[in-house]
Chain A
């Protein structure tokens, strides 16, 4: 697969955009590449309890991996900051986990993308 690293970078950018749109002003991202997969973690703070908004995030990121759609559309991930491509990021991931701690004001997304 070509542009593998660029695809992962775009997935992270998309998640960062989403967290900004949810009010975060401090975002930390980590990418770990192993021989089999990329492990992505993006964590942002929130102003107030935004855990209600996280359901949509969870639904879209939980879409099954779709190599056919990814191949056609991956370059759109992270491309704009006024709309989301979360469903695309979901289709580019094999596993997604979204955690929200309303009291601590933290949203964290973890993705696994197999090679």
Chain B
């Protein structure tokens, strides 16, 4: 069977994997809390302003965070199915990213305004919505903008409800053309392109808000103490993902070796290039590696770091693998040894996981430049959040875009110089 997803059977298999994954996440939520606690937790989650860093496990509890993540993902998968979108690596990346950030910032209320904005753009352009579906899904990075206006502004509901809707829809409307334009800025070396775009848009929006007297506040809701329960659960889950890939590939791992030979620059859709089996094995490895990294640095497995882990897993279907991620992590660790912060500081835990957005730099130019990219990223990401006031959930994508845009032309110039001598 051609399992690249280009056949109806392959596509059904991919949808089935996605649905069963996130249905199991919803069900797992009930292992941690009672149904009534989960409902109360979900209400707390959807009425929170959400800007960075807001751990939904700290706001609504572990069970509610799981159910929120699972339900938001399932609804997005339903939207993909309704639009008859073919599921390949980029689809896995988009859904896993949405799922991950539904542990810290995206919820059952706030994502739809951005998606509606992209829908309005498609209507305006007289083109099918399915063409812009990835801008819509990734663009939910700016969902906290909606909830900040709804629940963070002290003005009349008659004003803030239409204002929140207008802000969300307007942002969604401008994302697709910006996504195309900004891709050229980093030449595909920053895997979270919409994160970079959202950083720019968030900075613009924050500037407007500040002109009307709004002052952004820093926030850190970061829950601890879940490692004993969550590490074995997710490690086992990612092991199962690897095993599923192994069996779908006919108990061979040669395809995984082929995956690891790609530099990983956009567009590297592993499902299209190597099939579902090697891709799932790669995703499983990415997930297990991320959990082990967090345990090794005595980090916390909570909403924000699970977002990082899920994003690694999702993009392991679209460019990332252990070979191109390891140098980035090494660069962040090097920063931890030489800079003023420690590896277990919350923003640095996130920088290490999300910093793998720069994995294609290591894949294309080698270990040294990968380490340099991780080292630079770990400093820059601590400073760019102030520009958008935490409205852009993909802060690391914003930083990664800048690092790639600065670093890649320099690397090319140095390499070209060497070739001529």
Contact = CB atoms under 8 A, between A and B. Distances in A.
B180 A72 contact: yes
A87 B272 contact: yes
B185 to A, nearest CB: 10
B401 to A, nearest CB: 14
A104 interface: no
B187 A79 contact: yes
A75 B184 contact: yes
Contacts of B188: 73, 76, 79, 85
A97 interface: no
B94 to A, nearest CB: 10
A5 to B, nearest CB: 15
Contacts, number: 70
Q: For chain B, give the interface size range.
A: 20 to 34
Q: For chain A, give the interface size range.
A: 20 to 34
B68 to A, nearest CB: 26
A2 to B, nearest CB: 7
Contacts of A64: 6, 86
Contact of A82 (B85, B131, B176, B412): B412
B181 A69 contact: no
A68 B269 contact: no
Nearest 3 CB-CB pairings of A with B: A71-B131, A88-B267, A72-B134
14 contacts: A1-B127, A63-B272, A64-B6, A64-B86, A69-B267, A72-B90, A72-B132, A72-B135, A76-B266, A79-B188, A82-B364, A82-B412, A87-B269, A87-B273
B183 A75 contact: yes
Given A75-B181, A76-B266, A68 B272 contact: no
A76 B319 CA distance: 15
